[in-house]
Chains A and B, each alone.
Chain A
Amino acid sequence: MLTRSERERYDRQIMIGEIGQEGQGKLKRSRVVIAGTGGLGSPIALYLTAAGIGTIRVIDHDQVALSNLNRQILHWEEDVGRKKVDSARAKLRNLNSMVEIQAIAETITKENVSELVGGCDAIVDAMDNLPTRYILNRCAIEKNIPFFHGAVNGFEGRVMTVLPGETACLRCMYRGLVPQEKFPVIGVAPAVIGSIQATEVIKYLVGIGKLLTNRLLIYDGLRVTFSEFRLNKNPNCDHCGSLAGKE
Chain B
Amino acid sequence: MVVKVHIHTTHRQFTNGSEVVAVEGNTVGECLSHLIKQFPGMEKALFAKKDKLLNNVEVYLNHASAYPNELLKPVQDGDDIHLVVMLTGG
User: Contact mask B33-65 → A, CB, 8 Å, 1/0?
Assistant: 000000000000000000001011010100111
Stretch of A85-93, A96-104, A114-122, A123-131 lying at the B interface: A123-131
User: Do B65 and A232 touch across chains, with their CB atoms under 8 A apart?
Assistant: yes
Q: Which A150-208 residues have a C-beta within 8 angstroms of B?
A: 150-154, 156-158, 172-173, 175-181, 183-185, 190
A interface bracket (residues with beta carbon within 8 Å of B): 35 or more
A156 touches B90 (CB 8 A): no
Q: How many residues of B are in contact with the other chain, CB < 8 A? A: 19
What's the minimum C-beta distance from B85 to chain A, rounded to whole angstroms?
8
- A175-B53, A229-B82 known; A183 vs B89 contact (CB < 8 Å): yes
B82 CB, nearest partner CB in chain A, Å:
7
Please tell me which one of the listed residues B58, B64, B67, B88 contacts residue A153 in the complex, with CB atoms under 8 A apart: B88
Contact A38 B90 (CB under 8 A): yes
A230 and B90 contact, Cβ closer than 8 Å, known pairs A156-B9, A176-B55: no
CA–CA, A175 to B68, complex, Å? 9
Which residues does chain A contribute within 8 Å of B58, judged by CB atoms? 173
Residues of chain A touching chain B, judged by Cβ–Cβ distance below 8 Å, are 36, 38-41, 125-130, 133, 150-154, 156-158, 172-173, 175-181, 183-185, 190, 216, 218, 220, 222, 227-232, 234
Q: Which residues of B contact A (CB under 8 A)?
A: 9, 53, 55-56, 58, 60, 63-65, 67-68, 82, 84-90
